[in-house]
Amino acid sequence: MERRKFLKNSSTATAALVATPFLTSCKEDAKPAKTVKNTKALYPIVICTWNFMNASAKAWEVLNSGGTALDAVEQGVKVEEDDVNNQTVGTGGRPDRDGNVTLDACIMDKDGNCGAVLAMQNIANPISVARKVMEDTPHVMLAGQGAEQFAYEKGFEKVNLLTEQSRLEWLEWKKTSEYKPIINIENHDTIGMLAIDKNGDIAGGCTTSGMGYKMAGRVGDSPIIGAGLFVDNEVGGATATGVGEEVVRTVGSFLIVELMRQGKSPQEACEEGVKRIMAKNEGRNDFQIGFIAINKQGETGGYCIQAGFSYRTYSEEGHIDNPSESYIS
């Protein structure tokens, strides 16, 4: 009798065990993501959001000649800050709705030191000012005029960040003044970069002009440590691109690093990060976020909400554009 009861219960339990993963995946995510593409442990390595070949090549050049991860990410993302054709970063970035280009950036090193500038105008390389905030002040963040003033004190020059192309597009936008970011078309070139140097040390940087035609003073996730970027040298790093408000709400990059600390691969952690955001935005499919992550072994991953995001890796194996799986296809 006892044995029959045991067998009955155990077969029910087995059925439940078999059924559970299916039910769970149906409930949580109608289209379960494929996981863990890059499994090879490897460094030095650099990884960045989107397909930024020149930026990742610059960072790789620094790493390959024995430079630190911190120097690599600073030099790497500067390439995009200086690219006037990238309308989401640095010079050439889209202005806010009043026509002012305001830049956000942050940087974080292997020791957990970090620096950031928020809504800073007239300075071409916010990532380098962020590094100065980290290294030369007792603070982590400087905003607005304070950041700009600090930059001048450190020898940065005043420049006009509004290119003719961005100015003309802004004038066109003003005809309707409708704030409605278009997925993967506008606002999609923020660069977040993570690097591991030959010593195995990790650093990260993130830089943007933010969402085009934002309200004056608006700051997104990109300069917020924990949201747009987080590095823990014992575990790994993560960075984000997309609609910053949603990344801030879940402290996305910190979450992903903590998930890796708990044993998830970079790929699994990025997927979980996106799922957390989608769980808070039930029924919404009108915005994009992409996360990338790297762990201490140099394994990488990336995941996004909408198809169209990719991330670039550069290591001894060469440079690879990795199309990301997406939550929504």
Which sequence positions are flagged as catalytic? 190
210, 219 contact by CB (below 8 A): yes
Which residues, 118 to 177, sit near ligand SD4 by CB under 6 A? none
Q: Which is nearer to ligand SD4, 88 or 122 (CB)?
A: 88
Residues 211-230, mask of contacts with ligand SD4 (x by CB under 6 A): x--------xxx--------
Q: How far is CA 46 from CA 50, 85, 101, 216, in A?
A: 13, 23, 28, 33
As a whole number of angstroms, the distance between CA 143 and CA 124 comes to 15
Evaluate the omega torsion of the peptide bond into residue 44 and state whether it is cis, within 30 degrees of 0.
Answer: yes
Q: Which of 303, 115, 121 is nearest to 210 (CA)?
A: 121
- Interacting residue with ligand SD4 among 56, 121, 208, 324 (CB under 6 A): 208
- Applying CB under 6 A, the span of 70-78, 121-129, 188-196, 249-257 interacting with ligand SD4 comes to 188-196
- Closest distance between ligand SD4 and the C-beta of residue 41, in Å? 29
Residues 6+ apart with CB under 8 A from 120: 102, 103, 104, 126, 129, 142, 143, 144, 147, 148, 151
- Closest distance between ligand SD4 and the C-beta of residue 191, in Å? 8
Q: How far is CA 279 from CA 11, 111, 189, 227, 302, in A?
A: 33, 33, 25, 17, 19
- Closest distance between ligand SD4 and the C-beta of residue 68, in Å? 25
Q: Which is nearer to ligand SD4, 290 or 298 (CB)?
A: 290
As a whole number of angstroms, the distance between CA 26 and CA 35 comes to 16
- Applying CB under 6 A, the span of 78-86, 182-190, 252-260, 300-308 interacting with ligand SD4 comes to 182-190
- Interacting residue with ligand SD4 among 86, 91, 187, 239 (CB under 6 A): 187
- Applying CB under 6 A, the span of 20-28, 183-191, 194-202, 231-239 interacting with ligand SD4 comes to 183-191
Q: Which of 231, 226, 281 is nearest to 254 (CA)?
A: 226
- Interaction between residue 273 and ligand SD4 (CB under 6 A): no
73, 191 contact by CB (below 8 A): no
- Interaction between residue 87 and ligand SD4 (CB under 6 A): no
Which residues, 5 to 24, sit near ligand SD4 by CB under 6 A? none
- Closest distance between ligand SD4 and the C-beta of residue 50, in Å? 8
- Interaction between residue 322 and ligand SD4 (CB under 6 A): no
- Interacting residue with ligand SD4 among 58, 78, 131, 188 (CB under 6 A): 188
- Closest distance between ligand SD4 and the C-beta of residue 181, in Å? 9
As a whole number of angstroms, the distance between CA 71 and CA 59 comes to 8
Which residues, 238 to 267, sit near ligand SD4 by CB under 6 A? 241-244
Map residue 323 onto helix, strand or coil.
strand
- Interacting residue with ligand SD4 among 190, 233, 295, 322 (CB under 6 A): 190
63, 198 contact by CB (below 8 A): yes
As a whole number of angstroms, the distance between CA 10 and CA 178 comes to 60
The footprint of ligand SD4 (CB under 6 A) covers: 88, 187-190, 208, 210-211, 220-222, 241-244
